Structure 1
Amino acid sequence: MPESLPESQPEPGSGRKRAALILNPVKPTEEDIRGIVAELSAQEGWDEPLVLETTEDDPGHGQAQEALKAGVDVVIAAGGDGTVRCVAEELAGTTTALGLLPLGTGNLLARNLDIDVDDPRSAVEAALTGTERQVDVVYVNVDRAQDAHVFLVMAGLGFDASIMADTRDDLKDKVGWLAYVDAGIRNLQGKPSKVKITLDGGKRMTRRLRSVMGGNCGKIMGGLEIFPGAKIDDGLLDIMTVAPSGAFGWFAVLGKLVARGKGKDPSLEYFQCKEAEVEVDTPLEIQLDGDALGKGRHMAFRVEPNSLKLRMPYGKKDPAILTNPEP
């Protein structure tokens, strides 16, 4: 009689699908996440899911590699945007799909893709049986490091990154995304920095700015579209520069954001490219999808088109996010 297989491994040749759940255990939730994924997997005739928890030392990379080695059909990232980013970094360029189970504060990618941030069962259903789309991934090298990071929503240098670095975790647990507003108000005051920007190897631009951001898709909390027209599958990176003038300059920035970038006010400018370099003389805070990376002076962006399989709900998608909104 052949030896029985370990309980965590599906039977070879069974043809049954299997999901991996990569769970950030520190994210507060009253739901039985493991139970929901196991229950819905069984309902769909899938094998028992492979469950892996992130740790402080490994926020998702090693777990995603383990899931790939196990040959699962979809990897469900259960956590915030940081967990999603780490898992996506390993899945990009593979044939394994990424599903989202949003448990964080921002959950920006989930919001952009119409994944319900308040209904775990709905999110898991989309991860297991939703439509599958190929989306872009943006690679970023910080301070000319050999190894690149990825982001799926947005990254930045300056004011926006200072907000992420200065947001209080205890306040996020109490008031959610309003904690970012608190950090933003505390960081409004500040001097602009001399920034050099090169797009697609062209002529270098020099600006005095508070922030430079790159966007792969455009929405943040409250549905505000800060990168108008940015699409996650168009092969393009959207660049936004922020340069408020004077004490009331932030009102002009906000006004142009609400107007979706329309108008000639130079406080907010937009560009599109496939590659970009951003350099400052004095180190500034850097963030990727809400993760503060510390201070740096140089960021090199590169879009890898359609390099990640992503599961999302069936139904009409926001045309501001996808080039072809139908599933």
Structure 2
Amino acid sequence: MDGADDKRPVTAENRTPRSAVVVNPVKVADLDEFRRIVDGALDAAGWPAPTWYETTVEDPGRGQAEEAVKAGAEVVFACGGDGTVMACVTALAGTDVALAVLPQGTGNLLAANLGLSNDLGAGLEVAVERGMRRLDVGVVGDQCFAVMAGMGFDAQMLDSTSETTKKRIGWPAYLVGAARHLRDRPMRVSVRIDGRPPLRRRARSVLVANVGRLQGGVRLLTDAEPDDGWLDVAVLTPRTLGHWLAMGWALVRRRGSVPRMEVFRARTVEIASNRPQPRQLDGDLIEPGRSLTATIRPESLWLCVPRPADDPDLAVDADAAAERGEQLIEEARRE
């Protein structure tokens, strides 16, 4: 199935949707308290109690989300880090079941693109307000990603960032991991776009993006849209510390083109390196390899968003949703 059914999983007329929570218990400090708050907030919104599924080391969420779909869930809350969310994306792509994100990790890429940070109230409010978008997803092997896949420096940075540092200082911990690899030698890559002759580059990283926001709110790819049927491919070729600084400054200012970064659009992209490279999907490391092939699966995922407008920025109205979410949590605590 290339895309989801036209049916919306949750509408204003469906005031009591069935839901499930797929939670990584390692990411939640007090699971009983967390469950009480979520159950109470959904009850305050008029929703029935959700069914709860806990992830395991062997299954980070895909099997649990698939089980929730079979049990009749119309909304699945993914509660955890990047791995949990990506597993749920893979399970729900191509269905008419919506994904809502309750981020509990320290570096959740999809949550960053929704403007949710780790705000539980905002995540719940976004779901109960029934704002939804149908998104494209990227496919690598038997896994799907909603934000971006990458090979090279970006995955090295993730691999070098400790969980302890992330818990202590949040997303800036990735800058520490990045600093360790700024002077690493580039990889020789060929990048084939939609079967055309390959482009050959000495690159530090190749990113394949569905949406363009990185941690910290930085928009790497300003033209990337989540539902346009295209993947945006960024080839990064900095060679010196000065090149890195120029790239960083251009991204912060967001004026004109970014030096040492080429951008292409593709429905299928095949990346091959001269040596094995670290690789990642939606901020979650996968096995290193010498190649990465990604394809687009148009309009395959229903996603709960702050506002269902046709804006490439999925974080539109996130701050207002967070304020309303605080009220929802307070109402739940009074119950």
Q: TM-score, normalised by structure 2?
A: 0.84
Q: Alpha-carbon deviations, 1:74-119, whole Å to 9, x = none?
A: 00001122211101100000011111111111222122123x3243
Structure 2 CA distance for partners of 1:241 and 1:21, relative to 1, 3 Å: same
Contact 2:279 2:287 in 1 (8 A): yes
Query: Matched residues in 1 for 2:224 and 2:232: separation?
Result: 6
Counterpart residue type for residue 27 of structure 1: K
Determine the structure 1 residue equivalent to 2:236.
Answer: 242
Post-superposition Cα deviations, 1:136-195, rounded to whole Å, max 9, x if no partner, equal: 100013xxxxxx211111111111110111111121121111221111001111111110
- Secondary structure of the structure 1 residue equivalent to 2:213: coil
State the Cα deviation string for residues 262-308 of structure 1 (Å, max 9, x = none).
3484x111111111100012011101111111310111110111100
**Residue 153 of structure 2: which of 148, 159, 183 is its match?**
159
Rg (Cα) greater in structure: 1
Matches within 5 A, 1:217-296: 217-260=211-254, 262-263=256-257, 265=259, 267-296=260-289
Structure with higher helix content: 2
Look up the match of 2:10.
none
Given the superposition, is the C-alpha separation of residues 183 and 264 from structure 1 closer, same or farther in structure 2, using an over 3 Å criterion? Answer: closer
Amino acid at match of 1:287: Q
Quick one: distance in 2 between partners of 1:211 and 1:47? 46
Q: Please say if residues 171 and 216 of structure 2, whose CA atoms lie closer than 8 Å, have aligned partners that are also in contact.
A: no
Unaligned stretches of 5+ residues in structure 2? 1-14, 318-335
CA distance in 2, matches of 1:49, 1:186: 43
Partners of 1:122 and 1:210 in 2: how far apart?
A: 36
8 Å contact 1:244–1:252 — kept in the other structure?
no
Superposition deviation, residue 316 in structure 1: 6.0
> So what's the TM-score if we normalise by structure 1?
0.86
Measured after TM superposition, the shift of residue 19 of structure 1 is: 0.8
Q: Work out the CA distance in 1 between the residues paired with 2:265 and 2:245.
A: 24
Indicate the percent of aligned positions where both proteins have the same amino acid.
39
Structure 1 unpaired stretches of 5+: 1-14, 142-147
Match of 2:165 in 1: 171
**Kept in 2: contact 1:157–1:286 (CA 8 A):** yes
Task: State the Cα RMSD in Å.
Answer: 2.3
Q: What per-residue deviation string (whole Å, max 9, x for no partner) do you get for residues 3-59 of structure 1? A: xxxxxxxxxxxx952110111111144683211221122223332210111111111
User: In the TM superposition, what is the alpha-carbon distance from 1:259 to its structure 2 partner?
Assistant: 4.9
Tell me whether 1:125 sits opposite 2:125 in the alignment: yes
Aligned mate of 1:312, from 305, 309, 312: 305
Alignment size in residue pairs: 302
